[in-house]
Amino acid sequence: MELTDLSHDINEWFSGTGPLADIVVSSRIRLARNLAGHRFLSNCSVEEKAEILEKLKSVLMSLNLGDEVFYISVDKESELTRNVLVERHLISRHHAMATGPRGAVIARRESFTAMINEEDHLRLQVLKAGCQLAACAEQIDRIDTMIEERVEYAFSPRFGYLTACPTNLGTAIRVSVMLHMPALKLTGQIEKFLGAAKDMNLAVRGLFGEGTEAASDLYQLSNQVSLGVNEKGVVSEFENVIIPEIVEYEKTARKQLLAKQSDTLDDKIARAMALLQNAHLISSQEALFLLSHLRLGLNMHEHMGASTPAIERLCALHDDSGRDENDRLSIRTINRLFMLTLPAHLQLNYGKSLDVTHRDALRAQIIRDALHQQS
């Protein structure tokens, strides 16, 4: 299995499907685990890291994970390959940039990844499209239980699963959802969302995790408290309290845009279409920013029945990906353009390293070709 088998398409979790998919792009749960009898990674020799890697790799590859899995030696891969894995959210930036023996076991459909020797010995993650946290929780718990039958985890009765950083202790669970919040941004209410998240003791991060900007109006919202709570409680609070409240903010802002600021909405969508259909050089940041407005227009049409002049023109665009049965531009195509025009994807799929100007030209060409006007 080669990474290029995956890099020409988007992964399932980014397919634009699933419950509440017009706002909740994806759901993710990760668990951090460490082996008993070993030091934490920052204090490990290369030999000890190699021993941990070998042990966990052999356990993971022997399990029936419900999907075909493949293994990538992250430390032996090129920077480009590592960046593609980061862009697909299969490994973290920390894992890509760390040193020493490390690897990742990845399910072919990319809904599951086990990062070995990230900040902790083992970081398991399950990703699904839309709001599917309960399904993520069930799957990750099953995999974790299978692993712990074969290894001994570092565990304390008082502090639970012991992690390299005390902020991850206890359940060592991180529940997160990726949210698309363009209307709150356009109506100048994004602070309302950030304030609500803070009041609920949640962390808000950008598209690629800690320290990254919220490109394309995508925000990752996750729990911060992992000790003194149980896994079901955290997931249930997200599904029953947090997500409904945040989703309602964005829905209200979309209704407000349509009712009171439809000129603003149309202007954003029309400008995004014009630039994306005609530009010959486009940066990754600009493409993400403009594609966000197309995603908003399509979702408002599909989920709210919105029909403005710009939305009508957007919905009339032809989609030649063969994925949409009506041959109309789909969210899947928008997401595909989004991921496949990220810098590392562009270069891996083109087959060689490209400088910024060549990348911007190739990106613009791919987007122009995909968004050509229906004849």
Contacts to other proteins by CB under 8 A: 34, 36, 38-43, 119, 141, 144-145, 148-149, 152-162, 164-167, 169-171, 173, 198-201, 224-231
- The answer to whether the beta carbons of residues 131 and 177 sit under 8 Å apart is yes
Which own/partner pairs from 154-162 qualify as long-range (CB within 8 Å, at least 24 positions apart)? 154/33, 154/34, 154/35, 154/36, 154/38, 155/36, 159/227, 160/227, 161/31, 161/32, 161/33, 161/34, 162/34
Give the Cα separation of 331 and 310 in Å (integer): 16
Minimum distance from CB of 26 to other proteins (Å)? Answer: 24
Nearer to other proteins, 199 or 355 (CB): 199
Complex with other proteins: residue 116 or 300, whichever CB lies closer: 116
The four Cα atoms 127, 128, 131, 135 give a dihedral, to 10 degrees, of -90
Residue with tokens 């990538």: 72
CB of 110 to other proteins, least distance (A): 25
Least Å distance, CB 121 to other proteins, is: 11
Least distance to other proteins, CB of residue 76, Å: 24
Q: Which of 40/289 has CB closer to other proteins?
A: 40
Of 135 and 315, nearer to other proteins (C-beta) is 135
Smallest distance, other proteins to C-beta of residue 324, A: 42
Judged by beta carbon, residue 71 or residue 153, the one nearer other proteins is 153
Task: Give helix 284-304 / helix 331-340 axis angle, nearest 10°.
Answer: 170
CB of 227 to other proteins, least distance (A): 4
Q: Is 200 exposed, middle or buried (0-12, 13-18, 19+ CB in 10 A)?
A: middle
Q: Which is nearer to other proteins, 157 or 351 (CB)?
A: 157
Shorter beta-carbon distance to other proteins: residue 140 or 270: 140
What is the C-alpha to C-alpha distance for residues 147 and 32, in angstroms, rounded to an integer? 13
Element housing 175 (H / E): strand 173-180
In the complex, what is the shortest distance from the CB of residue 34 to other proteins, in angstroms, rounded to a whole number? Answer: 7
- Burial 276-302, CB ≥16 within 10 A → b, else e: beebeebebebbbbbbbbbbbbbbbbe
